[in-house]
Structure 1
Amino acid sequence: MALVGWTAPAFAQPVKPRVPAVRVAPPPASDPPAVRVKLFQAARLTNQFKDSEALAVYQEVLSTVPNHYMALWQAAVLSVRIGGRYSDETRKAAYFDAARQYADRALLLRPEGGESNYAVAVALFSQATLYSAGARLQAFRDLRSHVYLATEKRPDMPEAWQLLGRWQYRVAHYNLLERIYSKLVLGDVPDGGDSREAMDDLEKAHRLAPNNLQFCYDLARMCRYQGRRRRAIEVLREAEKIPPITSDDLVLSRLCRKMLPPLLRAAERHQKRQASQPAPAPESANILHQPTETTSGKQK
Structure 2
Amino acid sequence: MRIKLFQAAALANSFKDSEALAVYQEILKEIPTHYLALWQAAVLSVKIGTRYSDETRKSAYFDLGRQYADRALLLKPEGGESNYAVALALFNQATLYRAGARLKAFSDLRSHVYLATERRPDLPETWQLRGRWQYRVAHYNLIERLYSKIVLGGVPPGGDSKEAMADLEKARELAPQNLQFCYDLARMYVYQGRRRRAIAVLREAERLPTITSEDLVVSRLCRKMLPPLLRADARRQKRRVREGKKPKPAILAPGESIRARRDTLSRKQ
The one of 59, 76, 94 aligned to 1:93: 59
The one of 128, 142, 155 aligned to 2:108: 142
* Residue matched to 1:274: 240
Q: Distance in 2 between matches of 1:71 and 1:278?
A: 63
Secondary structure of the residue aligned to 2:33 is coil
The one of 131, 151, 155 aligned to 1:189: 155
1:1-300 alignment runs, 5 A limit: 35-278=1-244
Q: Distance in 1 between matches of 2:174 and 2:203?
A: 18
Deviations 1:229-275 (A, max 9, x none): 11111110110011111111110000000000111111110000000
Q: Distance in 2 between matches of 1:189 and 1:254?
A: 35
Of residues 252-261 and 223-232 in structure 1, the stretch that sits farther from structure 2 once superposed is 223-232
TM-score, length-normalised on structure 2?
0.90
Which amino acid in the other structure matches residue 104 of structure 2? Q
What displacement does 1:187 show? 0.5
Q: Say what the alpha-carbon RMSD is for the aligned residues.
A: 1.0
Q: Distance in 2 between matches of 1:214 and 1:251?
A: 10
Which amino acid in the other structure matches residue 216 of structure 2? L
Secondary structure of the residue aligned to 2:185 is helix
Q: Distance in 1 between matches of 2:75 and 2:148?
A: 31
Which amino acid in the other structure matches residue 190 of structure 1? P
Deviations 1:84-122 (A, max 9, x none): 000111111000000000000000000110000000000
Deviations 1:207-244 (A, max 9, x none): 10011010000000101111111111111011001111
What displacement does 1:52 show? 0.2
What displacement does 1:157 show? 0.7
Give % identity.
78
What displacement does 1:278 show? 3.9
TM-score, length-normalised on structure 1?
0.81
Q: Distance in 2 between matches of 1:52 and 1:72?
A: 15
Q: Distance in 2 between matches of 1:147 and 1:39?
A: 26
* Residue matched to 1:20: none
What displacement does 1:79 show? 0.2
Deviations 1:32-62 (A, max 9, x none): xxx1110000000000000000000000000
> Unaligned 5+ residue runs, structure 2?
246-269
What displacement does 1:163 show? 0.4
How many pairs does the alignment contain?
246
Bigger RCO of structures 1 and 2 (CA < 8 A, at least 6 apart): 1
Between structure 1 and structure 2, the one with the greater Rg is: 1
Q: Distance in 1 between matches of 2:231 and 2:9?
A: 44
Q: Distance in 2 between matches of 1:205 and 1:254?
A: 21
4+ residue runs over 6 A deviation: none
Q: Distance in 2 between matches of 1:236 and 1:209?
A: 15
Q: Distance in 2 between matches of 1:108 and 1:182?
A: 28
Higher share of residues assigned helix? 2
Q: Distance in 2 between matches of 1:39 and 1:214?
A: 27
Which amino acid in the other structure matches residue 124 of structure 1? L
